[in-house]
Structure 1
Amino acid sequence: MPRKKHDLLVEAANGCDLAIDGRLSRSWFRQGALPLAPQLLGQTVVRRTSEGLIRCRIVETESYVAPLDKGSHAYGNRRTKRTETMFQDGGKAYVYLIYGMHYCLNVVAAELEQAEAVLIRAVEPLSPTDVAWMRIHRPIRSRKTADISNGPGKLCAALQIDKQFDGADLVMGKELWIERGIDIPYEQIVCATRINIPYAEEYADKLWRFYIAGNPYVSVVDKQAVPLSNPARLLETFQTESGE
């Protein structure tokens, strides 16, 4: 009998599968967007720039699961020039432009042809040097340092991530990749509804956004968010209409 996605989530808590140099492996990225999204919290996005390597901790994510999810670009297995990357193998970057001005970084999160992805909504720079280099690419007047990367468009600007990274390999890439970071206890993770997707109809209410509670870099704090550690809520969150 095939394992359900919420079972994979629990099993994966025993540790991440590593590839070279501390990078997360291809097989780890293939487990599906719903179990992968909370596990990405605490992992490290690495971007090689002309200044040097910038490292940031992932603190907020959102899952998008085709073909049933009406919030997904690949709803109904829609294949276009834009969505084709979502059908690639796990561990690839899916980058798209919104509002004609902001790029968004997603992680392709399933087997080839399954079209599941996780949006990276917010990251936290790991050091003052990382902050300084990110400010070069995204100068801000705000005294609140979190404003540099507390949103998907903001973090892409600060890390110089644009359409050229669509399809980039986050396992073996030289300019952009994801490394093993720190483990975030499930007790510190909360689930909430996704942001700005009213068109998703009944899927707009799914608790498929995950973030580290209390982290200042989280883009939107939801007062109705629920703990991931609640077993009943966990099963409800990862239940899909496919019967998994």
Structure 2
Amino acid sequence: MKVLKDFYTREDTLALAKELIGMELCHAHPDGLTTGLIVETEAYCGITDRGCHAWGDRRTERTEVMYRQGGLAYVYLCYGIHQMFNVVTHREGFPHAILIRALEPLAGLDLMQHRRQTDNREKLCSGPGNVGKAMGFSTQQSGLSLEGDTIWIERPSSYATRDITESPRVGMNFDGPYKTVPWRYRLSGSRFTSRAR
């Protein structure tokens, strides 16, 4: 079942980041359909969160999508190479987002392997840059509705509460209380998450 707007517009982004674990991220690309089970996320919670792109209310052309109502894709370029896929959450005016850090590949395995030039299934979508490449995401898709037929998230019939490991987010190169908040969530025991740090 496709996840609809009333899920994304809830105000507890931390809860949403955990609930996304076990759901399926889907991308209908002209080259083919790819899907993956979400096994790792990171939450970014608005203008007071120094790890968030909108920290200090930095409203730019890139971050503008984060200020819109939840239920949109936020795709940005990292190091000029990696297409990083995020889910915009919360109400309009509250720039929250959830980074999808890792997937367990499901459909479109051959296409993912071609894009990544590897047949190691466990590494195909391990790490957010690899998620973007394997799934074929593009910054041109930033702002796209997750209720459409291009990118969407499904709650599978087998969905259930999972055992989740919490830890600090990756790459928080600053000092202060948000440096070590445990807002990185991994499916415990999964072989498809990015490495622990």
Q: How does 1:83-102 map onto structure 2 within 5 Å?
A: 83-102=63-82
What is the deviation of 1:200? Answer: 5.6
The aligned residue for residue 228 of structure 1 is none
The aligned residue for residue 33 of structure 2 is 53
What is the deviation of 1:51? Answer: 4.0
The aligned residue for residue 7 of structure 2 is 28
Letter in 2 for 1:28: F
Contact 1:41 1:59 in 2 (8 A): yes
The structure whose residues are more often strand, as a share, is 2
Q: Runs of 4+ in structure 1 displaced over 6 angstroms?
A: none
What is the deviation of 1:184? Answer: 4.1
Unmatched runs of 5 consecutive residues or more in structure 2:
none
CA distance in 1, matches of 2:175, 2:149: 36
Paired residues, what number? 195
CA distance in 1, matches of 2:194, 2:160: 18
CA distance in 2, matches of 1:66, 1:201: 16
Say which is worse superposed, 68-77 or 46-55, in terms of deviation: 46-55
The aligned residue for residue 160 of structure 1 is 136
What is the deviation of 1:185? Answer: 2.6
Pair 1:135-2:113 in alignment: yes
What is the deviation of 1:202? Answer: 2.1
Give the alignment's TM-score, normalised by structure 2: 0.93
Query: Residue deviations 1:197-242, cap 9 Å, x none?
Result: 12263211000011101111101225xxxxxxxxxxxxxxxxxxxx
- Over the aligned positions, Cα root-mean-square deviation in angstroms equals 1.5
CA distance in 2, matches of 1:206, 1:156: 25
Contact 1:134 1:158 in 2 (8 A): yes
Say which is worse superposed, 42-51 or 175-184, in terms of deviation: 175-184
Query: Residue deviations 1:87-145, cap 9 Å, x none?
Result: 01111001101111111000001011110100000011125xx22121122212xx632
* % identical equivalent positions: 34
CA distance in 2, matches of 1:164, 1:51: 16
Contact 1:71 1:200 in 2 (8 A): no
Larger RCO, structures 1/2 (Cα 8 Å, 6+ apart): 2
> 3-state DSSP class of the match of 2:176?
helix
Greater C-alpha Rg: 1
> 3-state DSSP class of the match of 1:48?
strand
What is the deviation of 1:50? Answer: 3.1
Letter in 2 for 1:192: S
Query: Residue deviations 1:24-66, cap 9 Å, x none?
Result: 1101111232111000001111111234321111000000001
The structure whose residues are more often helix, as a share, is 1
The aligned residue for residue 15 of structure 1 is none
- Which of 181, 187, 190 is the equivalent residue of 1:215? 190
The aligned residue for residue 44 of structure 1 is 24
Pair 1:65-2:45 in alignment: yes
Q: Aligned pair in 2 of structure 1 residues 107, 51: CA closer, same or farther (>3 Å)? A: same
Contact 2:76 2:83 in 1 (8 A): yes
